[in-house]
Structure 1
Amino acid sequence: MAYNITSQCISCNLCLSVCPTGAVKVVDGQHWIDPELCTNCIGSVYSVPQCKAGCPTCDGCVKQPGDYWEGWFAKYNHVLAKLTNKQDYWERWFNCYSQKFSEQLQKRQQQVLEA
């Protein structure tokens, strides 16, 4: 199952540099992920998909559902969590990880630019 880049994308190009398979492409100024190349970072040294982890918006890159029901249940669980004010432990962990990773990546890019 590949990931999609949403309308929340701010075109920062961080996902281009962190994707280990080069699946993130820019066509006519729009970012997209080639589903033929996207492996969700499975089989790599990363434990989470790097496009999502490096995205500063946290919603610019989302998992594309494999079928109708998978998408339906994902949406249902997301809405239910908002209504009941609960957040999954791993979702909180991922949000924290991606934010800290993004901050470190931005610091590193600034250091490279200053050098």
Structure 2
Amino acid sequence: MAYKITAACISCKRCLSVCPTGAVKILDGNHSIDSELCTNCAGGIYTVPQCKAVCPTVDGCVKEPSDYWEGWFVKYNRVIAKLTNKQDYWECWYNTYSQKFSEQLQKNHVVV
């Protein structure tokens, strides 16, 4: 499964210099990854694809789904998460912990 460069790309050109197979190309001013050359940096010294590792954006370089439905569900889940404005698990945990900790401090009359 190859990676692809999305519209979130800011054209920083970092991926051009780090790709070990030269799969990253600039065509008509847009970055793209040649799926025939992309190996996901597997079988080498890298533990993660280098284009993804150096990308300064969150979604500038993403794994291309292997089939239509896999891609559809990935996009669906991303859109639903934005629409429902779900809180991150750790953010929710921190807020709950902070509230409980504050209650304990107030109960013990400790001023912070």
Judge same fold: TM > 0.5, yes or no.
yes
1:14 equivalent in structure 2:
14
Percent of residue pairs identical? 70
Q: Paired residue for 1:31?
A: 31
> Which structure's CA Rg is the greater one?
2
| Stretches of structure 2 lacking an aligned partner (at least 5 in a row) | 90-112
Work out the CA distance in 2 between the residues paired with 1:69 and 1:29: 30
Alpha-carbon offset, residue 8 of structure 1: 1.2
In the TM superposition, residue 50 of structure 1 has moved relative to its aligned partner by: 0.7
- Cα deviations across residues 53-112 of structure 1 (Å, max 9, x unaligned)? 10111211111111112113323444566544346xxxxxxxxxxxxxxxxxxxxxxxxx
With structure 1 as the length reference, what TM-score do the two structures score? Answer: 0.66
The aligned amino acid for 2:4 is N
- How do residues 17-96 of structure 1 correspond to structure 2 at under 5 angstroms? 17-79=17-79, 83=84, 84-86=86-88
| Matched position secondary structure for 1:69 | helix
SS at match of 1:31: strand
How has the CA–CA distance of structure 1 residues 69 and 26 changed in structure 2, closer, same or farther, with 3 Å as cutoff? same
Separation of aligned partners in 1, 2:13 and 2:7: 14
Partner SS, residue 4 of structure 1: strand
Which residue number corresponds to residue 95 of structure 1? none
**What residue ranges of structure 1 are gaps of 5+ in the alignment?**
88-115
| Residues 1:12 and 1:72: Cα distance change in structure 2 (over 3 Å) | same
RMSD: 1.8
Out of 74-83 and 48-57, give the one that drifted further: 74-83
C-alpha distance in structure 2 between counterparts of 1:59 and 1:3, whole Å: 11
How many residue pairs were aligned? 87
Deviating beyond 4 angstroms after TM superposition, the runs of 4 or more aligned structure 1 residues are: 79-83
